[in-house]
Amino acid sequence: MEIKSDNPEHGFQFPGTFEISVMGPADAGLETIVPQLLTDAGITVLHETVNTRASSGGKFIQVKLSFKAENREQYEAAHEALRTHSDVKWTI
């Protein structure tokens, strides 16, 4: 069964700018590590968009930023580069 949208505007459009959020331990330095992991993977990070937010208990931190992806493979590579780091608990 093939699923097709009746609206070609649905879904991701490439090339594009996308936002990614990462959650991990507050003391892991993820605000520095996350942009570096993406840069090392060949992803263009928009450094001016890096934003952090601590959890209510202060044990975890969310790092949110925007990056550019030329195609679906590059988008997936961004998530994969972050998920392989031991301090990254999840990406969204």
**DSSP type of residue 77:** H
State in Å, rounded, how far the first CA of the chain is from the last one. Answer: 28
Q: What is the pTM of this model?
A: 0.85
What is the model's pLDDT at position 11?
Answer: 78
83 within 8 A of 27, measured Cβ to Cβ: no
Instruction: Name residue 37's amino acid.
Output: L
pLDDT digits (tens, 9 = 90+) for 15-72: 999 999 999 999 999 999 999 999 999 999 999 999 999 999 999 999 999 999 999 9
Domain formed by 16-91, architecture: 2-Layer Sandwich (3.30)
Indicate the pLDDT class of residue 7, thresholds 50, 70 and 90. Answer: low
Name 92's Cβ contacts closer than 8 Å, sequence gap at least 6: 20, 21
Place of tokens 């993977």: 41
Domain borders along the chain are 16-91
pLDDT of residue 12: 83
